[in-house]
Chain A
Amino acid sequence: MSPSVPLQEMIRAIRSARTQCEERGVIQRECAAIRAQFRQADNGGRSHNLAKLLYVHMLGYPAHFGQMECVRMIASPRYSEKRVGYLGAMMLLDEKQDASLLITNSIKNDLSHSNQYVQSLALCTLACMGSAEMCRDLAPEIDRLLRASNSYIKKKAALCAVHIVRKVHDLGELFAPAARSLLAEKNHGVLHGAVVLIIELCERNPETLERFRKVLPDLVQIMKGLVLSGYSPEHDVAGISDPFLQVRILRLLRILGHNNEGASDAMNDLLAQVATNTDSTKTVGNAVLYETVLTVLDIKSESGLRVLAVNILGRFLLNNDRNIRYIAMTSLQKIVGTDHNAVQRHRGTIVDCLKDQDASVKRRALELSLALVSASNVRSMMKELLLFLSSCPAELKAHAASGIFNAAERYAPSQRWHIDTILHVLTTAGGDVRDETVPNLIQLITNASELHCYTVHKLYRALLTDISQVSVSNQSEIRFVTEDDVLDALETVLQSHMSGPLTACLSLHHFTTASRIRSIVSIYGSCIDVELQQRAVEYNALFKKYDHMRYATAR
């Protein structure tokens, strides 16, 4: 049995292994030693052993044999051992393991330990991995700590209560009174925990929400204090006083003001103040402004305040920081239905974002642009969208194409423009066009009878210039181009894509040379490409079935 080495030496040994195999060897040796040590009586090095095992676990190696050791360590009277034991429990045990129940008793004892750092370990572990059963068992203890302990413990107990409520919803009622009284505390950590707890309680229970509306004045007071107070070194972040607490309070205000005129009125002035006074030159200020905007847009705010909020988003769109532009668009997307005109004002900037380098930003800009297409701007918007389609990343092509089709269908100023747009999309991104949309297109082209020859003409040109996937619908009335020309081109297309995936739709209306088409199509009935084969077989069946109907399907 090799002697156990201190943690850092082991880490060094593992890191100096030159191959995966060598590393495995070192770890196997270490684990064997650790296992042996676990079985031995207390030798003062237990915490080091467990720490070593936890390191090994983080590298991805199995460590379940350490679970019972964690349970033992947590029960130890030594702080160093408790500390690593609880850490081990959080890493190796989860509520699904039976062993986790075994630590419930230790946690219970440690929650009332005389030393606050021991209490802290118990609270942290409970909040991290406490099961519903453990939560039910220990809830009264947590409530006690919420009322009668120092700030250090109170702030932790509050977040522990949050976890308990998330696990066991009905226990929310238990914590409501204590949560309310915590709002009177001065300590920011406690206040923050209290606000998080109240948010959790209000989100789960409408009656509790109703009751907590009464504390609105207190919240406004606290928030005012943060926004208007001078520099506070302890909580200052780039000129903002405790942005974490501010953001939380704003979120609670959002919940309290949602669908409630009275509450929304009471917070109107404060929100206007925060929106105007918060410094937006750094991310931290923008984080607070962002939360403010979200709140303004989700409550019954007066129109002036709403305009202020949308303008902040408009400013965000012009920010150099890509992150800010991204979240601005996310927010605008949420209100594009309700505040359409306000968002329209920023259409230009949004369309510019289509050219951003980042795919996530592009996606957001696309969604928003599609939502902003209207009868009055359809021509210019479509120009931009088609430009976007020609160079957009592959994963967005299908969505962009179908979005453009939908918008074109709703707002097309003329049939010819509509067909042009469709053909443009097909030639730019035909391969990404979703199959379901194709029958609609064929229908559209069929219905625009006076444009049949125009359509075929354009399709023919498209076929010649770009023989990738193009949906072809041949019409009977051809003046400038003969049927045979089209078939020649089509044959070329099909032949050149013999081995590639080709989604070619042939919609044929009483063609005199139907037999030639049928012969071409039959070849593909035995094609290697399954999709082509399927299509070919389907069309052949269609020909046979509807042969007699060909002349009847007049335009």
Chain B
Amino acid sequence: MQFMLLFSRQGKLRLQKWYVPLSDKEKKKITRELVQTVLARKPKMCSFLEWRDLKVVYKRYASLYFCCAIEDQDNELITLEIIHRYVELLDKYFGSVCELDIIFNFEKAYFILDEFLLGGEAQETSKKNVLKAIEQADLLQETKEQKVKLSILH
């Protein structure tokens, strides 16, 4: 995968994960143009489109568009499954996820994504294992933070 974008129906970016090195300017340009292209598509249209020299796979879940740019030899159908898996993970973590969860806890959305995909490829195919790892990492964060708070009091 080259990159993944999450954006609302108004074109507001909620998450952007880039697996290829591009300048900020290039990223902004790609984002702007691709978001426009996807938003212009009608509801019953294909989830796949050829954009520039990339294959783009996108799916809409409620008010959010999940959009991935994949390589020429990648399987579009399994990419749809990857997107679906990520949505399931978010759903499990936040308990019936909605766009606001991702807005107000954007860093968590990234942490979950980074536990599911690494370098643009799936690293863990078991839903249970991904959620377990996030849980443990969150716990670690809390404990350490508590330790920090205690030290300030002194």
Q: How many residue-residue contacts, CB under 8 A, span A and B?
A: 155
A80 engages B75 (CB within 8 Å): no
B123 engages A287 (CB within 8 Å): no
Q: B42 to chain A: which residues have CB within 8 Å?
A: 357
CB-CB contacts below 8 Å: A76-132 with B = 78-80, 83-84, 87, 94-96, 115, 117, 120, 123-124, 127-129, 131
**A80 touching B80 in the complex, CB below 8 Å, given contacts A155-B123, A189-B124:** no
Whether B62 is near chain A, meaning CB under 8 Å from some CB there, is no
A109 → chain B, closest Cβ, in Å? 17
Q: Which residue of A lies closest to B12 (CB)?
A: A59
Whether A380 is near chain B, meaning CB under 8 Å from some CB there, is no
Q: A322 to chain B: which residues have CB within 8 Å?
A: 44-46
**A124 touching B118 in the complex, CB below 8 Å, given contacts A58-B16, A188-B126:** yes
**A127 touching B119 in the complex, CB below 8 Å, given contacts A58-B13, A244-B125:** yes
**A94 touching B78 in the complex, CB below 8 Å, given contacts A44-B148, A189-B129:** no
CB-CB contacts below 8 Å: B61-104 with A = 73, 75-78, 80-82, 103-104
Residues 113-141 of chain B, each 1 if its beta carbon lies under 8 Å from chain A, else 0: 01100110111111011000100110011
Whether B9 is near chain A, meaning CB under 8 Å from some CB there, is no
The contact of A247 among B75, B124, B133, by CB within 8 Å, is: B75
CB-CB contacts below 8 Å: A321-375 with B = 322-324, 326-327, 357-361
A326 engages B119 (CB within 8 Å): no
A327 engages B119 (CB within 8 Å): no
A162 engages B119 (CB within 8 Å): yes
Separation of A235 and B96 alpha carbons in the complex (Å): 22
B47 engages A323 (CB within 8 Å): yes
Separation of A396 and B91 alpha carbons in the complex (Å): 41
The contact of B121 among A96, A159, A188, A323, by CB within 8 Å, is: A159
A87 engages B107 (CB within 8 Å): yes
A45 → chain B, closest Cβ, in Å? 10
Q: B22 to chain A: which residues have CB within 8 Å?
A: 94
Q: B123 to chain A: which residues have CB within 8 Å?
A: 155-156, 159, 189, 192-193
Separation of A235 and B78 alpha carbons in the complex (Å): 15
Q: A263 to chain B: which residues have CB within 8 Å?
A: none
Whether A36 is near chain B, meaning CB under 8 Å from some CB there, is no
A117 engages B104 (CB within 8 Å): no
Whether A291 is near chain B, meaning CB under 8 Å from some CB there, is yes
The contact of A123 among B45, B110, B111, B118, by CB within 8 Å, is: B118
Separation of A188 and B21 alpha carbons in the complex (Å): 29
A87 engages B110 (CB within 8 Å): yes
B118 engages A357 (CB within 8 Å): no
B145 → chain A, closest Cβ, in Å? 5
**A78 touching B125 in the complex, CB below 8 Å, given contacts A287-B77, A358-B46:** no
CB-CB contacts below 8 Å: B1-50 with A = 13-16, 18-19, 21-23, 28, 42, 44-50
Separation of A251 and B126 alpha carbons in the complex (Å): 20
A287 engages B80 (CB within 8 Å): yes
A357 engages B21 (CB within 8 Å): no
Separation of A51 and B111 alpha carbons in the complex (Å): 12
Whether A55 is near chain B, meaning CB under 8 Å from some CB there, is yes
Separation of A79 and B144 alpha carbons in the complex (Å): 7
B interface with A by C-beta (< 8 Å) = 13-16, 18-19, 21-23, 28, 42, 44-50, 73, 75-78, 80-82, 103-104, 106-107, 110-111, 114-115, 118-119, 121-126, 128-129, 133, 136-137, 140-141, 144-145, 148-149, 152
Known: A11-B104, A44-B149. 15 other contacts (CB 8 A): A8-B104, A58-B16, A87-B107, A96-B21, A117-B136, A128-B118, A159-B118, A160-B118, A243-B81, A291-B78, A322-B46, A323-B47, A323-B77, A357-B45, A358-B45
Nearest 3 CB-CB pairings of A with B? A127-B119, A287-B77, A159-B118
A interface with B by C-beta (< 8 Å) = 8, 11, 15, 44, 51, 54-55, 58-60, 78-80, 83-84, 87, 94-96, 115, 117, 120, 123-124, 127-129, 131, 152, 155-156, 159-160, 162-163, 188-189, 192-193, 196, 234-235, 237, 242-245, 247, 251, 283-284, 286-287, 290-291, 294, 322-324, 326-327, 357-361
